[in-house]
Structure 1
Amino acid sequence: MKMNFGKLLLFLTILILLTACSAPPSDAKEKAYNTAPAPAAAEAETVPEALPTPAFEIVSAPMLTQIEMLDSQNGWAQAVNRILRTENGGQTWFDITPSDIPNDPAYAKSYFLDAQRGWVLIEDRDQPDAGMLFYTTNGGEFWSWHLVSFGRAEFAFSDLNNGYALFNLGAGAGSMGVSVWTTSNGGGDFVQVFLHEPGVEASMPMSGIKNGIAFRDPLNGWVTGSVPMDGVIWFYRTRDGGLSWEEQPMQMPASYENAQTSTFAPHFFDLNVALLPVRLFGEESSMVFYRTSDGGETWMPTLPVPMSGKYDIASPNELIVWDGGATLYTSSDGGETWTFHATNWQPYDLLRSIDFVSTTEGWALSEEGVYRTKDGGKTWSKLP
């Protein structure tokens, strides 16, 4: 009996050992295998987090005071208490007004190089000889500003760095004193290069109401204006960056030898080609565009158009003139010939400004709202 019991005990022991060896692993072991230590977070590649795009407020039916379209889709505008930008031809306007702007920018002077870069000059209402120049390089997402020693000045930039300002010191009896300022770092610093001082004779005369400034390059620039004298075109130039000025003689257009004139800042397209708008006042008010192909050394008048209204220069060859009446004039050859178009909309005196990107596509601001044409001014439609 003992032998049989011993064999049975041995058999049971072997059976238990074999069963244990063949059993599946426990849940704890399985989890430990699948949760092997992961690489430390510090060892992983760091991917910079993208900055969120600012959400601009959409402004419905803004009453624009100024507009500057750069192409058929992109443009800038100003309205009461707002600076705006569009990416769809004016159908939608985004509010890109700087949060720290101190005064209403509706009628502030501004200059836009392209769809991303622009300047807006805000005058100090308490100090006429001071202002804040706001500047953006990303379409108004972010703005920086610099204090400047002039307020409501005419200004322009020839490129991203070089800018020029003409500040009105006071006008009266057909005269106006001015100061001229230049910058070479995008408006970070302005240097005064010319100043009218009482009792001091200057190379640019006090006589004449100055209204515009433009430079071809850092040395060569022009100031425009008007003087109440027949047959005189008020037009002065500098060759030394604004330090000294000289009158540039201009030929009056045929049949307008006795007209009075007002010149406006020339529009340079490159170092050689530019157009100079001149308004003619005589028995019949007209517009004429002087053209230069040698960097402003010589200017020749094109064919005057028998209308003295709003004008725009879309390209070296594309010009538009309209007084808000039933006829709008366009030129596709730089003013050598003109074509008139009957319009379906006549805002007349309610017309504030026009802005065209070609002789066919343009925008008009009136006290009734913003209108757009795609056929050279024949038909206009009001934008929402």
Structure 2
Amino acid sequence: MDRSHNRGSSSYRLWLTTASLFVMLFVLAACGSGSGGATNPTPGVTATTTTTSAATASPTTAGPASGSTGAPTKPKVPLIDIRMLDRMNGWALTKTQILKTADGGLHWKDVTPSASPITSQAVGRFVDANHAWVVNALENGDSVTIRRTIDGGRSWQATTISSMAPNVIDPPHFINMQEGWLEIVGSPGAGNEQAEIWHSTDGGLHWSRIYTTAQPGKYLTNEGFKSGLSFKDALNGWATLSSDTGNSLNSGLYVTHDGGKSWMRQAIPEPQNIDAIGTTPPVIFGNTAILPAYTSTNGQQKLLLYVSHDGGESWAPTTPVALQTSNVYVIDPLHIWATEVQTGQFFYTSDGGKTWQHSASGPGKIQALSFTDTANGWAVTESSLLHMANGGSWNVINYSIQ
């Protein structure tokens, strides 16, 4: 998402899997408000752990990355995520590979660390041509591995942390090359999800758990389905919920002013006569921020954007648009794209969500979007990679992997 949550970038990409979020909204609206949920101890600590975790992890170094210039072509497999840095250079993930391109996506080099392969649960944060983080949970396990490269994938350093059995991992959020946060979310149940927040100050080589929703408290708890984190600086950040057990009076927006060690609920103006509302992490550009939100009323789903011009202290909503979206991509405070879940139709705004236009040319049902500017974008479907150049139509890229 940043573009993927890289606050130093002038443009920012936000991945949102809101098709599943809307399903959660309906389930939670039917369930009514919950009472919190289980507070079982997480591995390594008790349920009464303080906000400063004693759990830490140290790195190991993986061997040389596989793949090299001129290597034989490998079997072509579908991409599941993409992050283009400019019109030529970018990163991508398959279910088992970390890839790089230097020609706009036509050819991809496999830079997966040979001694530490990934699985389909991997998520990535790709900042520039040299720096990237890929996080992977072991299936049916209670550990998470964070891999880091600072040389464009030629070598990787891997750190494994002990955690609860993860169901969802939010890609790490770094405000610079050293300091970042990671949210690990457990399996949902009865309107609840346990989550842990981990913190690194050395570029992801070591991590300490600083917060768990299983600890007693009245703020960010197990209640509600978690949708991610976003940080403005070392102290100020947000945690969001796709829904807070169907309580239309709570949009699921929480704020921290101490780097994630404690959280409080932040109120925002909400539409009237809604059954449920959820938010996803704000996209931040200095003191301006865009907060996507999703509502449901009598089965009708809408997208609206909250805008802040004072660093997130206050938020003002745009007019909701009737759109069940699966992807929202924010490149700057004015230019935002969204795709419709069922039809794959493409919508965009050039005035920060005040008005929306429908594009005659859409990429179809997509899994991921990446834009480098307002006219050039890439889209990943279940089987294809598409490219839009200079604001024109979407064309399939017949890519290869080496």
Structure 1 position 164 matched with structure 2 position 181 = yes
- C-alpha distance in structure 2 between counterparts of 1:375 and 1:342, whole Å: 15
Q: Which residue pairs with 1:333 in the alignment?
A: 351
Change (3 A) 1:281 1:126: closer
Tell me the alpha carbon deviations over residues 138-164 of structure 1, each in whole angstroms, 9 at most, x when there is no partner.
221221112223455323112111111
Unaligned stretches of 5+ residues in structure 1: 1-52
Amino acid in the other structure paired with 1:146: T
- Cα deviation for residue 354 of structure 1 reads 2.2
Change (3 A) 1:136 1:251: same
Structure 1 position 127 matched with structure 2 position 144 = no
Change (3 A) 1:189 1:259: same
- Cα deviation for residue 210 of structure 1 reads 0.9
Amino acid in the other structure paired with 1:211: S
Q: How many residues align?
A: 322
- Cα deviation for residue 315 of structure 1 reads 2.0
Structure 1 position 68 matched with structure 2 position 83 = yes
SS at match of 1:285: strand
After superposition, residues 1-384 of structure 1 pair within 5 angstroms as 54-55=68-69, 57=71, 59=74, 61-104=76-119, 106-128=120-142, 130-150=143-163, 152-154=168-170, 155-197=172-214, 200-225=216-241, 226-227=243-244, 228-253=246-271, 257-270=273-286, 272-283=287-298, 284-309=300-325, 310-323=327-340, 325=343, 327-343=345-361, 347-348=364-365, 351-376=366-391, 379-384=393-398
- Cα deviation for residue 115 of structure 1 reads 2.3
Q: Say if 2:88 and 2:105, in contact at 8 Å, map to a contact too.
A: yes
Change (3 A) 1:59 1:281: farther
- Cα deviation for residue 186 of structure 1 reads 0.8
56-65 or 230-239, larger mean C-alpha shift: 56-65
CA RMSD across the alignment: 2.3
- C-alpha distance in structure 1 between counterparts of 2:175 and 2:344, whole Å: 36
- C-alpha distance in structure 1 between counterparts of 2:335 and 2:363, whole Å: 22
Q: Which residue pairs with 2:49 in the alignment?
A: none
Q: Say if 2:283 and 2:290, in contact at 8 Å, map to a contact too.
A: yes
Q: Say if 1:315 and 1:358, in contact at 8 Å, map to a contact too.
A: no
Using the aligned pairs only, state the percent identity.
Answer: 29
- Cα deviation for residue 218 of structure 1 reads 1.5
Q: Say if 1:113 and 1:159, in contact at 8 Å, map to a contact too.
A: no
- C-alpha distance in structure 2 between counterparts of 1:332 and 1:163, whole Å: 31
- C-alpha distance in structure 2 between counterparts of 1:346 and 1:222, whole Å: 31
Q: TM-score, normalised by structure 2?
A: 0.74
- C-alpha distance in structure 1 between counterparts of 2:374 and 2:265, whole Å: 33
Tell me the alpha carbon deviations over residues 26-74 of structure 1, each in whole angstroms, 9 at most, x when there is no partner.
xxxxxxxxxxxxxxxxxxxxxxxxxxx9537455644101111222222
Structure with more helix by fraction: 1
- Cα deviation for residue 301 of structure 1 reads 1.5
- C-alpha distance in structure 1 between counterparts of 2:114 and 2:383, whole Å: 28
- Which structure has more relative contact order (CA 8 Å, sep 6+)? It is 2
Q: Say if 1:286 and 1:304, in contact at 8 Å, map to a contact too.
A: yes
Amino acid in the other structure paired with 2:188: A
- C-alpha distance in structure 1 between counterparts of 2:376 and 2:320, whole Å: 22
Tell me the alpha carbon deviations over residues 279-306 of structure 1, each in whole angstroms, 9 at most, x when there is no partner.
2222432212212222111112123332
Q: Which residue pairs with 2:40 in the alignment?
A: none
Q: Which residue pairs with 2:13 in the alignment?
A: none
Q: TM-score, normalised by structure 1?
A: 0.77
- C-alpha distance in structure 2 between counterparts of 1:240 and 1:326, whole Å: 40
